[in-house]
Amino acid sequence: MFKKIIFTILSAILTSSVFAQTEVVADQSGSVETLLYVVIGLVILISVLVLLVAIYTLFVVRTILLQEQVKAETEGAEIVPEVSIWKKLSKSLTGATPIEKEADILLDHNYDGIRELDNHLPPWWKWLFYLSMVWSVIYLLAYHVFDVLPSSDQEYNNEIMRAEAALEARRATMTDLFDETNVEVTTDATALENGASIFTRQCAVCHQADGGGNVGPNLTDEYWIHGGDIKDLFTVIKYGVPEKGMISWESQLGPGDMRDVASYILTLQGTTPANPKAPEGELYVPPVATEDSTTVEEAIPEVITEEESTTAE
Ligand code: HEC
């Protein structure tokens, strides 16, 4: 029975401290809080054990006393009526003077027949009072002197910080917010790295690892079949040109991945691949440098007329 009780209490305390631990992760004051929970848990555990031992001892003492009494009875001694444990307990808690002794503590004053007893304060009340004094010292030291525990203010700030970090993390994953109408070139290093790895994995078969072109066109030159703007690239990658062998990647790559790989392709502009495929499509000049229109027309290769007629169909 005892073992069962102790085991239950022990497991309850252990699980509660585990919960406390998981709750306060990623917080500076977390380890201190966890320690506090463990200490409180241990104190509760020890108090309960002490209580159990005390009750057990009481039972043992009672049994011995009963045996003594039986012995005394057989020897013909006078039997003193036994006071029950509950009466003793209530007496030690309330400290009340028994009614038959009240005369001893009656005060002299007599207010129209109303008399006053000079009772002590009940011990249970006094102990509560002493405990609250001890607690106030612990509280003062913990919260205001050594700052080992967070004040309400700090707790609030900690929570705000945690929430902001979570929001930041969520924002970073919310790349679904753009499509071909509003996509922008990214220069973020990790995004370009992601784009590069997607390119070597999924696109290099047809475009070559260096973008020089194979089944697919050369992506390092300034000539584009479908336009050289990030939005054009995004559109081609997203919807593909199935009849020409460029599949739609919408189902395999998220908007973030498609933006990353398109941005990566644009970084290949002006590089010299090992086996460049002949330019296909139109010379794409970024909007900032459009004055040189004559060279654009001259530079248009023959393929373009054929290309234009196919797209016009
Ligand atoms: C199975 C071969 C194949 C694979 C794999 C492939 N492409 Fe293509 N890609 C092509 C072909 C063929 C074209 C030319 C389409 C056309 O003529 O309209 C093309 C065109 C393009 C264009 C437009 C080029 C221009 O001149 O306008 C881009 C951008 C592009 N691909 C990006 C990618 C990306 C990014 C991947 C990987 C996610 C990829 N491609 C994977 C075959 C492929």
DSSP string, 207-242: H-TTS--SSSPPSSSSEESS-SSHHHHHHHHHH-BG
What is the predicted pLDDT for the residue at 97? Answer: 81
Would the pTM of this model clear 0.75, i.e. be above it? no
Question: Among residues of the chain, what percentage have pLDDT more than 90?
Answer: 42
- H helix or E strand, kind and range, residue 50: helix 30-74
Q: Between the CA of residue 227 and those of 150, 232, 236, what are the distances in Å?
A: 58, 5, 9
Residue 183: both structure tokens together: 């996509």
Q: Which of 200, 207, 310 maximizes ligand 1 atoms within 8 Å of its Cβ, making it the mutation to test the pocket?
A: 207
The predicted-structure confidence for 217-236, as pLDDT tens digits, reads as follows 999 999 999 999 999 999 99
- Round to whole Å and give the CA distance between 294 and 278: 21
Which residue has the least CA distance to atom 29 on ligand 1? 233
What is the predicted pLDDT for the residue at 79? Answer: 64
The residues facing 114 across adjacent strands are 111
The residues facing 106 across adjacent strands are 117
Give residue 233 CA to ligand 1 midpoint distance, Å.
Answer: 9
The predicted-structure confidence for 159-192, as pLDDT tens digits, reads as follows 999 999 998 888 777 656 778 888 889 888 999 9
Least Cα distance to 262 among 174, 203, 201 occurs for: 203
Ligand 1 pocket, CB under 6 A: 198, 202-203, 205-207, 215-217, 224-226, 233, 236-237, 241, 244-246, 249, 261, 265, 281
Q: Do 198 and 253 meet the contact criterion of CB atoms below 8 Å apart?
A: yes
Q: Which of 180, 192, 197, 203 maximizes ligand 1 atoms within 8 Å of its Cβ, making it the mutation to test the pocket?
A: 203
Q: Between the CA of residue 10 and those of 1, 31, 54, 98, 137, what are the distances in Å?
A: 14, 21, 18, 41, 29
pLDDT, mean of each 10-residue run, the chain (313 residues):
64 56 50 88 95 95 89 76 79 82 87 88 92 95 88 92 90 72 89 94 93 92 93 94 92 90 93 90 77 48 47 43
End-to-end CA, the chain = 89
